[in-house]
Amino acid sequence: MRDKIYYCEPVFRPPSEGYSLLIQLTEGCIYKCDFCISNLRKQFLVREVEDVKRDLNIAKKQYGQRIKKIFFLDGNAMVTPAEKLLEVTKYAKELFPNLERCAVYAHAKDIIKKSDEQLRELSDSGLRMAYVGFESGYNKLLKAVNKHATKEDYIIASKKLFNADITLSATLINGLGGADNPELSEMHAKESADLINKTCPSDDRKWYIAFLTLMVPQGTEIYREKAKGSFKEMDQFEILQELKIFMQNIEFENKNANCVFRSNHASNYLPIKGVLDRDKGKIISTINYGLTHPEVMRPEFYRGL
């Protein structure tokens, strides 16, 4: 009988899940987005519930009552059929009395596939956070990078999460369209802002938007395109300019919105934080400062995923 929690390396988790118990629920990913390393070198599978429960039991022995947060790996654990996901979250809730929430990465299509009732049940059993990769609101770009989701999917998926009281944390990727195409960059920025404006709920619940900056990891399709010369990365000024256009186009109807905006991931050149759309002006000033003071930007060799 094994006494160590099983992991299929390498594993990826959001920075905000740094203190969470990581439990491998799925391995790999069925989608093959051009920029992502989560789908590489792993055969996709959803693990047997009994194996996942065994890992939770081991964690219970190791950490006792200390577990407050669980993040279910891998890159898209929302693909797990609703009944299986429910069984696992319910079990975790029973096992750890101080558990505040479980969280997953979630592709929009796998949120949409679940009924409102299923999402509500999952939420009631402790699944309270979903990290959704929007990447862009521009359908042409989403198609070009093989995201298998559209702007409309994101709006529907977000509404379903809000209705079930599952907190949304969405990521977008600065520089996704590459350099030498200012029109594409502008559309990426404007359509992404329009997506976020349309996603904004009408109440004051907290939700999260993070902008990462494109990295080109070895093994990805985008890496091969870069090697062939058909994809060129944006420089730090183009990246900030794109972010500025995004920010200029943010306009929430709901003036009580509580959207926590972050662009302070290790991949970003300039750390930015604020609440939208309240801090829009301050954020644009920070971007302008970065554009005129390049020495404040994170050096290339410090960037990472």
Ligand X SMILES: C[S@@+](CC[C@H](N)C(=O)[O-])C[C@H]1O[C@@H](n2cnc3c(N)ncnc32)[C@H](O)[C@@H]1O
Residue whose CB is nearest to ligand SF4 in the complex, by number: 75
In this complex, which beta carbon is closest to ligand X, that of residue 96 or of residue 111? 111
Considering only residues 120 through 179, tell me which ones interact with ligand SF4, judged by CB under 6 A: 133
In this complex, which beta carbon is closest to ligand SF4, that of residue 76 or of residue 241? 76
Burial of 229 (0-12, 13-18, 19+ CB in 10 A): exposed
Tell me: does residue 29 bind ligand SF4 (CB under 6 A). Answer: yes
Q: Using the rule CB under 6 A, which residue among 21, 22, 23, 33 binds ligand SF4?
A: 33
Q: Are 189 and 245 in contact (CB under 8 A)?
A: yes
Cα(first)–Cα(last) distance of the chain, in Å? 35
What's the CA dihedral at 35, 259, 267, 158 to 10 degrees?
-10
Q: Using the rule CB under 6 A, which residue among 47, 69, 101, 107 binds ligand SF4?
A: 107
State the chain's maximal CA–CA distance in angstroms: 60
Query: Nearest distance from residue 126's CB to ligand SF4, in Å?
Result: 22
Residue whose CB is nearest to ligand X in the complex, by number: 133
∠ at Cα 100 (99, 106), nearest 5°? 105
Q: Using the rule CB under 6 A, which residue among 20, 24, 26, 39 binds ligand SF4?
A: 39
- For 209, the enclosing helix (H) or strand (E) is strand 206-213
Contact partner at residue 39 from ligand X, ligand SF4, none, CB < 5 to 8 Å by partner kind: ligand SF4
Residues within the interface to ligand X (CB under 6 A): 12, 35-36, 38, 75-76, 105-107, 132-133, 135, 171, 173, 212, 214-215, 217, 267, 305
> In this structure, how many other beta carbons lie within 10 angstroms of the beta carbon of residue 20?
20
Interface stretch with ligand SF4, choices 25-33, 119-127, 188-196, 206-214 (CB under 6 A): 25-33
Helix axes 182-199, 236-248, angle to 10 degrees: 40
Binding site for ligand SF4 (CB under 6 A): 29, 31, 33, 36, 38-39, 75-76, 107, 133
